[in-house]
């Protein structure tokens, strides 16, 4: 961490040193030194106490939010019924986008009837092996995956996850369904991904919200053919899903609200929580 910020008290200490009573040899007296050292120690103790108080206040706020969280006991979001998933996603949306008005939030709500009904999925285990079957289950016309894609940069399925390493694992798991576009930042630039999407049409794409959002905003990725968007609900080391992770959730909800909610309202795209 950087040095402690200079407070008003600290400036006064400096001023005291410059204007201190001098001895015959033009140096500060012993009494002056002790006074300065005592004031420095008091100032240090005060700052430390303030830091401890702020830390306690933040911890208290976190505990309060946790106690008031209606979904604190929901360990496996993908196993919840559709109504609970809808309420969970909406609750996390309010936390992720606190600056939006109620009207703006309502405009970005993802309609419940377009959530994939996971209760009917016969393989409820959250493993990489079940992902291909889940994608087929979530699509209205999964046989489309058997046909060669024609439109460049226009996937039929997108899978969003919280980190590049996890996206790479998901991409490998999706290989049985066909060629997969890797849409995350690790070792790959937007320009390179844009060139790949134009050159090799694919049905499937997987990546992080930030990179996929950037590709759409820069018109390198077209959502016209998108039938299914899957959000991976794996929890990170701190037990946060992508809907809760501060490093991811803002981009996730901004992307879903701006580009996916309108398609879901028009019943063109379904949302699955895996």
DSSP string, 84-144: HHHHHHHHHHHHH-TTS-HHHHHHT---GGGB--GGG-S----SGGGHHHHHHHH-S-GGG
What is the layout of strands, in order, in the sheet containing 228-231? Answer: 180-183, 204-207, 157-160, 228-231, 270-273
Question: Residue 192 has what pLDDT?
Answer: 94
Question: Residue 51 has what pLDDT?
Answer: 72
Decide if 1 is inside a domain: no
Supply the range of the domain harboring residue 185.
Answer: 77-273
Encode pLDDT of 146-197 as tens digits: 999 999 999 999 999 999 999 999 999 999 999 999 999 977 899 999 999 9
Question: Residue 126 has what pLDDT?
Answer: 86
Helix/strand/coil (H, E, C) string of 230-264?
Answer: EECCCCCCCCCCCCCCCCCHHHHHHHHHHHHHHHH
Taking the C-alpha atoms of residue 34 and residue 38, their distance in angstroms, rounded to an integer, is 6
- The band of 11, judged by pLDDT with boundaries at 50, 70 and 90, is very low
The fraction of the chain above a pLDDT of 70, given in percent, is: 78
- Identify which of 146, 147, 170, 148 has the alpha carbon closest to the alpha carbon of residue 159: 170
Residue 159 backbone phi and psi in degrees, to 5: -115, 125
C-beta separation of 225 from 153 below 8 A: no
Decide if 72 is inside a domain: no
Mean pLDDT, rounded, for 234-251: 94
Question: Residue 155 has what pLDDT?
Answer: 97
User: In this structure, are 52 and 109 located in the same domain?
Assistant: no
What 3-state DSSP class applies to 1?
Answer: coil
The pTM assigned to this predicted structure is 0.75
User: In this structure, are 265 and 240 located in the same domain?
Assistant: yes
Decide if 198 is inside a domain: yes
- Identify which of 195, 245, 248 has the alpha carbon closest to the alpha carbon of residue 218: 195
The first and second tokens of residue 22, run together, are 């001098």
User: In this structure, are 217 and 120 located in the same domain?
Assistant: yes
Cα→Cα distances 78→24, 155, 176, Å: 80, 23, 22
**Can you name the residues that pair with 229 across neighbouring β-strands?**
158, 271
Q: What is the CATH number of the domain that holds 126?
A: 3.40.50.300
User: In this structure, are 81 and 56 located in the same domain?
Assistant: no
The first and second tokens of residue 183, run together, are 């849409």
Number of domains in the chain: 2
User: In this structure, are 61 and 90 located in the same domain?
Assistant: no
């Amino acid at each position: 961490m950087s040095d402690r910020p200079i407070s008003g008290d600290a400036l006064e200490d400096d001023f005291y040193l410059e204007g201190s009573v001098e001895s015959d040899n033009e140096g500060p007296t012993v009494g002056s030194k002790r006074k300065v050292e005592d004031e420095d120690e008091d100032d240090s103790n005060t700052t430390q106490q303030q830091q401890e108080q702020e830390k306690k206040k933040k911890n208290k706020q976190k505990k309060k939010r946790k106690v008031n969280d209606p979904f604190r006991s929901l360990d496996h979001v993908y196993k919840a019924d559709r109504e609970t998933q809808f309420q969970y996603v909406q609750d996390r949306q309010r936390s992720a986008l606190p600056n939006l008005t109620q009207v703006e939030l309502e405009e970005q709500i993802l309609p419940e009837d377009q959530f994939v009904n996971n209760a009917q999925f016969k393989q409820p285990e959250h493993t990489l092996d079940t992902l291909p079957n889940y994608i087929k289950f979530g699509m209205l016309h999964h046989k489309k995956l058997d046909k060669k894609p024609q439109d460049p940069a226009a996937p039929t399925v997108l899978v969003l996850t919280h980190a590049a390493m996890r996206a790479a694992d998901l991409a490998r798991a999706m290989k049985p369904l066909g060629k997969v576009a890797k849409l995350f930042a690790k070792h790959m630039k937007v320009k390179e991904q844009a060139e790949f999407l134009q050159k090799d049409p694919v049905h499937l794409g997987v990546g992080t919200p930030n990179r996929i959002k950037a590709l759409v905003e820069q018109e390198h990725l077209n959502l016209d053919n998108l039938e299914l968007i899957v959000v991976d609900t794996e929890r990170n080391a701190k037990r946060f899903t992508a809907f809760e992770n501060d490093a991811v959730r803002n981009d996730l909800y901004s992307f879903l609200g701006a580009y996916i909610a309108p398609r879901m309202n028009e019943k063109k795209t379904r949302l699955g929580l895996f």
